[in-house]
C-alpha cells in the first residue's frame, strides 16, 4: 500500500518514457481550462514522442516507482514541467525544479501561462523572478504568459527594485 510520505526520486528520462510523459502532459493540461485545444490527442502524442522527448534533456519524477512528473530542458530554458494532477502536492514539482536548477547552475529561464498561479507560486518559492509579462500573441495558445528567470542569487539578493530594472531591460 502506498503512503503520501514516500520520497520522490528523480531520474534521467529516455525515449521509453514518451507514452507516460504524454499521459502526464495531457492530464495536467486537461485541468487548464483557459487553454484552447489546438491539436488532437494523436497529434500531441506524436509531438511528445517524436519532437519533445528526443530534443530535450528529460527528467522524470517517480513516486512508488511510477512516473508522476517530468521536466524538459533545452539549453538554459525549462520548456515543460508537468506533474500528474493525482500526484500534485507530494513534492514532485519541487524535486523537478531542484533538479533542473542543479543542471543549469548559472541561469534558467521559462515561460508559464499567467493564469497558472500554482506553477507561478512554485517557481517563485524556488527563487525564480518574473522578468516580463507577454500578452499571449507570442504563443500559439494566445494566453498571456510570464517569462521567469532564476540565477543563483535571485532568491536571496534580488529586491523589488532590481527585479523591476531586470524586467524593464529585457523588454
Q: Do both 146 and 160 map to the same domain?
A: yes
Q: Do both 91 and 153 map to the same domain?
A: no
pLDDT tens for the chain, 171 residues long, are 444 567 999 999 999 999 999 999 999 999 999 999 999 999 999 999 999 999 999 999 999 999 999 999 999 999 999 999 999 999 999 999 999 999 999 999 999 999 999 999 999 999 999 999 999 999 999 999 999 999 997 444 454 555 555 566 655
With 0.95 as the threshold, say if the pTM is over it: no
Task: Give the structural domain span for 51.
Answer: 1-103
Decide which of 77, 103, 129 is a domain's last residue. 103
Indicate which CATH number applies to the domain containing 31: 3.40.630.30
Total domains in the fold of the chain: 2
Q: Do both 13 and 96 map to the same domain?
A: yes
Long-range contacts, stretch 86-95, CB < 8 angstroms, 24+ apart: 86/27, 87/63, 88/118, 90/4, 90/8, 90/63, 91/7, 91/8, 92/8, 92/61, 92/63, 92/68, 93/61, 93/69, 93/119, 93/122, 94/8, 94/122, 94/126, 95/8, 95/9, 95/10, 95/61, 95/69
Decide which of 63, 88, 103 is a domain's last residue. 103
Amino acid at each position: 500500500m502506498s503512503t503520501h510520505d514516500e520520497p520522490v526520486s528523480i531520474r534521467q528520462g529516455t525515449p521509453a518514457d514518451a507514452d507516460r510523459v504524454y499521459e502526464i502532459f495531457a492530464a495536467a493540461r486537461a485541468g487548464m481550462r483557459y487553454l484552447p485545444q489546438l491539436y488532437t490527442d494523436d497529434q500531441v502524442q506524436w509531438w511528445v514522442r517524436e519532437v519533445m522527448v528526443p530534443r530535450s534533456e528529460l527528467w522524470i519524477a517517480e513516486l512508488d516507482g511510477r512516473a508522476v512528473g517530468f521536466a524538459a530542458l533545452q539549453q538554459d530554458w525549462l520548456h515543460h514541467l508537468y506533474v500528474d494532477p493525482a500526484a500534485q502536492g507530494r513534492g514532485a514539482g519541487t524535486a523537478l525544479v531542484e533538479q533542473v536548477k542543479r543542471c543549469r547552475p548559472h541561469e534558467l529561464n521559462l515561460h508559464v501561462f499567467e493564469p497558472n498561479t500554482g506553477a507561478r507560486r512554485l517557481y517563485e518559492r524556488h527563487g525564480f523572478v518574473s522578468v516580463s509579462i507577454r500578452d499571449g500573441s507570442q504563443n500559439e495558445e494566445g494566453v498571456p504568459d510570464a517569462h521567469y528567470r532564476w540565477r543563483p542569487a535571485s532568491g536571496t539578493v534580488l529586491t523589488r527594485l532590481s527585479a523591476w530594472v531586470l524586467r524593464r531591460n529585457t523588454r
